[in-house]
């Protein structure tokens, strides 16, 4: 069986389910049904969500499993949150650039910045 897709492969608009069928008793139900929000994610976004859940939401484990940096994981998470139709709290994500984030993390890794100092810089305080 093929997986259900949520977007039209031609025009990229959201698809709507109009018929459900039971393979066991051959019952068919017709109407207008919505797909869950996860069906509207791209295959890459869905893979990220599955990995994120498997890693129990621990970003450091997602980094290791997907071979991505913290900023890349955070960016992908923000992308998924928005794709699901939710707002991203800019106060929590901060307003510093990805480049600045990478520089701060590199300084922590090099030992020229403490984790406490990095937290303050990343939070913008």
Q: What is the pLDDT of residues 5-14, one digit of tens each?
A: 888 899 988 8
Q: Taking residues 100-110, what's their average pLDDT?
A: 87
Q: How many other β-carbons are positioned within 10 Å of the β-carbon of residue 48?
A: 20
Q: Is 20 helix (H, G, I), strand (E, B) or coil?
A: strand
Name every residue whose Cβ is closer than 8 Å to that of residue 103 and which is 6 or more positions away in sequence. none
Residue 92 in this model has a pLDDT that exceeds 70: no
What is the C-alpha to C-alpha distance for residues 58 and 102, in angstroms, rounded to an integer?
19
Q: Specify the DSSP class assigned to residue 38.
A: G
Q: Which domain holds residue 100?
A: 95-125
Q: How many domains are there within the chain?
A: 3
Q: Tell me, what's the pLDDT at 116?
A: 84
pLDDT at 94 over 60: no
Q: Verify that 56 and 86 share a domain, yes or no.
A: yes
Same domain, 21 and 4: yes
> Which band of pLDDT confidence, cut at 50, 70 and 90, is reported for residue 55?
very high
């Amino acid at each position: 069986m093929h997986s259900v897709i949520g977007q039209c492969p031609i025009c990229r608009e959201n698809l709507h389910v109009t018929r459900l069928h039971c393979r066991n008793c051959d019952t068919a139900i017709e109407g207008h049904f919505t797909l869950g929000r996860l069906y509207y994610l791209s295959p890459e976004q869905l893979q990220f969500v599955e990995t994120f859940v498997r890693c129990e939401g621990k970003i450091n484990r997602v980094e290791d499993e997907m071979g991505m940096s913290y900023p890349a994981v955070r960016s992908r998470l923000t992308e998924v949150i928005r794709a699901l139709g939710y707002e991203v709290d800019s106060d929590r994500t901060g307003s510093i650039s990805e480049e600045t984030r990478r520089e701060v993390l590199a300084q922590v890794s090099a030992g020229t910045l403490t984790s406490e100092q990095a937290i303050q810089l990343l939070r913008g305080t």
